[in-house]
A = this chain, B = another copy of it.
């Protein structure tokens, strides 16, 4: 029922000829073009600041199509959120950290997280927007709760192995470690504009980001290592 409310007409099996429209992809992808433009628009302006008209112009379609495919502005926004989260989860599912030492495995996890957020600034904006909205929309999604991150479980396994070996410190809580890893991968990007403005230094520079990564990684490593 919930899933029906959230599925959008025409989301599956795209049949028939492609629309003549030039903005949208040739592969019949009005829906896809809308989703891509909406991702950018919501990431750039938040939910309330996003303009359906603007994003439709960008997608090369009409406003009407948003209602055809997604039912409402919130419906479109939720679809955007689901897609962004889906990509993260899909990438996480490919992680394999059992072929190495616990410490290296945990650091590989950190590297993955750090790289993913670094490569996906829109995901960061979307998540920040959603938190400003107190997760109102995420809670309406049937899909997202069903795809919580596998990473805490991965962490748990590695930590157990490491503790048994004596290489990892005791009493590491998997979820809290995950949250700290994300914090060190996310905050300097999510808040880059105020930080850069206030400290009069451009934190978007590749050099700054590379050094931040090295420092953050060192911090995680120092925390994990058994003394």
A residues touching B (Cβ–Cβ < 8 Å)?
Answer: 45-49, 125, 127-135, 138-139, 144-145, 148-149, 152, 173, 175-177, 179-180, 182-184, 186-188, 190-201, 203, 211-212, 215-216, 218-220, 222-223, 225
Contacts and interface: CB of A to CB of B under 8 A. Distances in A.
Contacts of A134: 193
A132 B132 contact: yes
A127 B194 contact: yes
Contact of A220 (B138, B177, B219): B219
Contacts of A133: 49, 193
Given A191-B127, A218-B223, A144 B180 contact: no
B193 A130 contact: yes
Given A135-B194, A193-B134, A215-B180, A152 B48 contact: no
A212 B139 CA distance: 24
A122 to B, nearest CB: 12
A203 B178 CA distance: 13
A191 B144 CA distance: 16
Contact of A173 (B45, B195, B215): B215
Nearest to A43: B132
Contact of A131 (B135, B148, B193, B222): B193
A199 B198 CA distance: 34
Nearest to A51: B48
Contacts of A219: 180, 219-220, 222-223
Contacts of A129: 46, 132
B196 A135 contact: yes
Contacts of A218: 223
Given A131-B128, A179-B188, A212-B179, A149 B198 contact: yes
